[in-house]
Every structure is written in structure tokens, then in C-alpha cells.
């Protein structure tokens, strides 16, 4: 096959590309320039798309003996991922930009472009497995539970999966580093990237404040209705968060206070004891199916965070709307997060959470 390997400059995509070459594919490396103003160097594990990263990616391609190009997708990334991230937060929701990037950038813009140019597939260093199942191609969890990235890929449909290649899903991360070193790839020891790539210092609240400005409002205790403080922008708060709720003294009931609700329309942040965070009824929209769509009530597993635990639930589907009735309650589920539905290791699909309540 003719394959575009997305090379970030990190160790995972490097080994993924190397494996694609080994498998006999004709591989062309593409580094995606996603930042309008890339920093010169990566600082520790923060950020990505630095000039150093593109240099590292180029050197990987040299070692693998494959052509290397940089595709400038920064404008699209800005409108599809960053703007969406900001507007979601402005609505009091907590989006996952990695899912959005996989859906809109890597497996739409890059994939479409590659296919139009005559390529058959896009290869990335994501930890997930694609398996040929009885009903077509299936997306499964990686064998390394600590690195599994099937959650952020749960927006890919069957067509996209049929043109995706994830060569790392069957290997543990530690072995990938060893393999990279054995292959002579200089990125073997490069730190993993964490956090949100376009918030290089990791200060999401500060970054949002720069974009959204002051939107002061009240912090109210949900149990008593009491005004307990002020904030500078409700968008800086996420359901389940404890930091920054500004409680100078213990609550009357002695329980710790968490953000339990964010209402950006009134700029109100509601806080409450952890019991108020327990939810067992999640509804979402924007259903995405990684294979045949669910049509009837199904017992499955749902996961609501990239590195969260999957919990059993009954799933009901009505068109684009997905409802999960959890067997046991979960704590702190924010609107905007993705709810990913699994059948054991197989990803059935995902939905963007719109409401999480207690039955």
C-alpha cells in the first residue's frame, strides 16, 4: 500500500512509520504543522509542533529512508480544534481537543488529502488496534492499558478505520522505546507529550482567560444556596474540580466542596459536597459509530475520560442521542467530554456528553 505516515517528531509515530516501512508499504512521512507560531524548542513534555519536533521528524524519515514533507494545517487546526475548544469552554463544557483533532484533522483533512493524492492509508503512532471482525473493521483497545488511546479515536467511522493504520497497538510502550533505540532512531528517549499541545505551559485556565477575558460571577454552594465567593470566568471551572473554588473556610457540613455545575449563561459556578458529583445517567449527542450503529438497548461499558475506567451501563440510542444508564455511579462528569462505548476491548462508538445526572 501507499501510506502517509504522520510523524510528530516523537518516538511513537517514528516506530509506527518504521513498522509500516518494514511491512513493505511505500511510506511517505508527513509532519503536520498545526501551530501558527511554533516555538523553537520543546520544553520537557509540554507542547508539540515545535521546530525541534519537525527537525526530529525529518531525521526519523532520513533514517527510515523515506521522503519527508511538512503539511501546513495550522489554519484548519485553528478553526476546527482551537476555536471549537474555546467556544466549548465558553459554553461551560469540557471538550477533548485530541478527539476533535483526530476526527477533523488527522482522519479527515489529512486522510482525504492523502487519498485524493493516491495514497491508501494514513499511519499514526496511536496506541490502538484495528482488527478485521465479522462485520468489518473494528477498533480495539491497545494491549498496553497504560497507553491505550482508543478513547481519542472513538470518533472514527468504518470508512476512516479502513484507511487508518495503527502499528503500535500490539506493543507495550517500554518495548517501543527499546525498538526505537535498536532502530537507531534518535527520538528513542524523547519524553512523551502530555496536556494540550496548543497550551504549551499547561495553564489551560490562564490560556482561556487570555482568549475569553474576564467574565466575573458568583460561586454558590448548591446545598445551601449561599454565596461563597467570586470568580473571574466560569469557563475556568470544570465539573469535579476542587482547586480554585475559593472557599476560605470549611463548609457547614464539613465536607469538601467541588464544582458541581457550571452555568456560563449566568456566569455562576455551583459547588457542593462530593455526593452531588455522583451521577448515573449520562446523555450525549453527536453519536459516532466505529462500525455498525447501535440500534437497540445494549449492555456495554462506557468510559468518560481519556484515562478513566470503563464502567458497565445500559446504552439506549435514539438517532443522534445516546443515553447511558450506569450500573454504578461515577463522579464528576462534565458536559463536552466524550462518552466512549466499549464491548470488551472493542470500541462501539462515542457521543459528546450533554448532561450527566442522578436517577
Q: Which residues contact 250 (CB under 8 A, 6 or more apart)?
A: none
* Maximum Cα–Cα distance across the chain: 67
According to the binding rule CB under 8 A, does residue 75 interact with other proteins? yes
According to the binding rule CB under 8 A, does residue 56 interact with other proteins? no
User: Considering only residues 1, 70, 247, 255, which one is a binding residue for other proteins as defined by CB under 8 A?
Assistant: 70
C-alpha cell at 287: 453519536
Please pick, among 48, 98, 101, 290, the residue that the annotation labels catalytic.
Answer: 101
User: Considering only residues 1, 59, 63, 76, which one is a binding residue for other proteins as defined by CB under 8 A?
Assistant: 76
Using the contact rule CB under 8 A, the part of the chain among 72-80, 259-267, 274-282, 298-306 near other proteins is 72-80
Residue 341 C-beta: closest distance to other proteins, Å: 23
290 is catalytic: no
Q: How far is residue 149's CA from residue 308's CA, in Å, rounded to a whole number? A: 11
Size of the site for other proteins (CB under 8 A): 31
What does the DSSP assignment read for 45-69?
TB----HHHHHHHHHHHHHHT--EE
User: Considering only residues 118, 134, 225, 254, which one is a binding residue for other proteins as defined by CB under 8 A?
Assistant: 118
Q: How far is residue 98's CA from residue 81's CA, in Å, rounded to a whole number? A: 8
Site string for other proteins, 28-47 (x = CB under 8 A): x--x-x---xx---------
The dihedral built from the CA positions of residue 39, 40, 45 and 48, taken in this order, carries a sign that is positive
Residue 52 C-beta: closest distance to other proteins, Å: 10
Q: How far is residue 60's CA from residue 318's CA, in Å, rounded to a whole number? A: 47
Of 304, 293, 299, nearest in space to 330 by CA = 304
Task: Give the binding site for other proteins (CB under 8 A).
Answer: 2, 26, 28, 31, 33, 37-38, 51, 54-55, 65-67, 69-76, 80, 104, 108-109, 112-114, 116-118
Active site residues: 101, 197
Amino acid at each position: 500500500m501507499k501510506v502517509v505516515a504522520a510523524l510528530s517528531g516523537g518516538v511513537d509515530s517514528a516506530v509506527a512509520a518504521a513498522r509500516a516501512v518494514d511491512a513493505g508499504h511505500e511510506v511517505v512521512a508527513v509532519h503536520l504543522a498545526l501551530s501558527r507560531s511554533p516555538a523553537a524548542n520543546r520544553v520537557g513534555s509540554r507542547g508539540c509542533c515545535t521546530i525541534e519536533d519537525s527537525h526530529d521528524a525529518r531525521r526519523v524519515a532520513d533514517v527510515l529512508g523515506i521522503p519527508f514533507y511538512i503539511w501546513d494545517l495550522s489554519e484548519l487546526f485553528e478553526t476546527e480544534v482551537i476555536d471549537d475548544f474555546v467556544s466549548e469552554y465558553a459554553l461551560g463544557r469540557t471538550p477533548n481537543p485530541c478527539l476533535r483533532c483526530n476526527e477533523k484533522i488527522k482522519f479527515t483533512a489529512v486522510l482525504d488529502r492523502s487519498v485524493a493524492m493516491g495514497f491508501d492509508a494514513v499511519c499514526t503512532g496511536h496506541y490502538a488496534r484495528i482488527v478485521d471482525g465479522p462485520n468489518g473493521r473494528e477498533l480495539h483497545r491497545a494491549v498496553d492499558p497504560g497507553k491505550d488511546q482508543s478513547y481519542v479515536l472513538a470518533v472514527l467511522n468504518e470508512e476512516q478505520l479502513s484507511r487508518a493504520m495503527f502499528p503500535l497497538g500490539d506493543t507495550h510502550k517500554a518495548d517501543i522505546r527499546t525498538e526505537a533505540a535498536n532502530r537507531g532512531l534518535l527520538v528513542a528517549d524523547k519524553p512523551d507529550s502530555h496536556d494540550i499541545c496548543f497550551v504549551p505551559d499547561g495553564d489551560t485556565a490562564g490560556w482561556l482567560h487570555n482568549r475569553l477575558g474576564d467574565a466575573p460571577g458568583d460561586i454558590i454552594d448548591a446545598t445551601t444556596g449561599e454565596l461563597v465567593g467570586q470568580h473571574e470566568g466560569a469557563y475556568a471551572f470544570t465539573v469535579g474540580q476542587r482547586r480554585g473554588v475559593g472557599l476560605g473556610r470549611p463548609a457547614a457540613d464539613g465536607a469538601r466542596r467541588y464544582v458541581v455545575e457550571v452555568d456560563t449563561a449566568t456566569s455562576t459556578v455551583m459547588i457542593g459536597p462530593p455526593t452531588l458529583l455522583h451521577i448515573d445517567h449520562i446523555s450525549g449527542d453527536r453519536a459516532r459509530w466505529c462500525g455498525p450503529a447501535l440500534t437497540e438497548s445494549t449492555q456495554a461499558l462506557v468510559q468518560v475520560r481519556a484515562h478513566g475506567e470503563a464502567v458497565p451501563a445500559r446504552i439506549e440510542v435514539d438517532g443522534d442521542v445516546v443515553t447511558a444508564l450506569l450500573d454504578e455511579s461515577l463522579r464528576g462528569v462534565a458536559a463536552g467530554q466524550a462518552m466512549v462505548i466499549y464491548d470488551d476491548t472493542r470500541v462501539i462508538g462515542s457521543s459528546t456528553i450533554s448532561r450527566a445526572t442522578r436517577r
